[in-house]
Amino acid sequence: MSHYVFVYGSLRRGFGNHRILDDSKYIGVAYTRPEWKMVDLGAYPGDLGAYPGVVPGKGRITGEIYEVDDDTFLRLDRLESHPSYYRREEIDVYSFAPDVPAPVKVWMYVFQSRDVRRFEEVESGDWSAHRNVPTYSTLP
């Protein structure tokens, strides 16, 4: 069985965790409804670099859609510590690709802590732009 996932941080092209998606089908760049807030959670223990979290809010998040198989889906759950650290939630996203019908139902990992006041907000909602990492999917 296949699943659509929407990735917005370290799983995007140009970041270290993207290797998990190497064998998955890239669908395209997409964005959420303006119902979310992205925060910079800082460096991950073990010096794997900074990473974001998304919680309910009023902003739009930019990311990438991938079609993944069951094994990759489980690997993503383990990486995101679902459901304790991030919780997988089904949402609608809108692709910039003209051949992808809108909306697309995808799974997105939502940060579990609702008290994110101590973290810097990523106002653009685009982790690649925030970290100055050029990717194939960074929007102008």
Report d(CA 95, CA 85) in Å as an integer: 27
CB contact burial 83-92 (16+ within 10 A = b; e otherwise)? eeebebeebe
Which conformational region is residue 49 in: left (phi greater than 0), alpha (psi within -120 to 50 degrees), or beta? left
Active site residue 80: yes
Set 35, 67, 80, 123: catalytic member:
80
Which active-site residues does the annotation give?
Answer: 80
